[in-house]
Amino acid sequence: MPGKVEILAIPRKGMGPMDVQFEAIVTELQGTIRFRWHFGDGEESCDKVPPPHLYQAGQYSVVLEAVDVSGRRYTASIGIDAASPG
């Protein structure tokens, strides 16, 4: 079975500004895995579970890149919707 990377984001929708907690869900990958999060607002992180990320009002596309020990790259993406108040 090939490896797979997914993003868990809580919450995915809400009223901005809002904190979103992210976690990388990794299946069938062996060895050390390097992570790079692109939060869609110019910010990045290399943690598997980065600290909560603060989003101002807007829509964002979050991309996670994971590289396994053999150098194979896996990506996942998810949308975040922080609505404008009022």
What CA–CA distance (Å, rounded) separates 51 from 23? Answer: 9
The amino acid at 30: Q
pLDDT in tens, 51-75: 999 999 999 999 999 998 888 899 9
Q: What is the largest CA-CA distance in the chain?
A: 49
CB 69 within 8 A of CB 32: yes
pLDDT in tens, 3-52: 789 999 999 999 999 999 999 998 887 777 899 999 999 999 999 899 99
- Residue ranges of domains in the chain, CATH in brackets: 4-83 (2.60.40.10)
DSSP output for 28-55: S--S--EEEEE-SSS-EE--SSPPPEEE
CB 62 within 8 A of CB 81: no
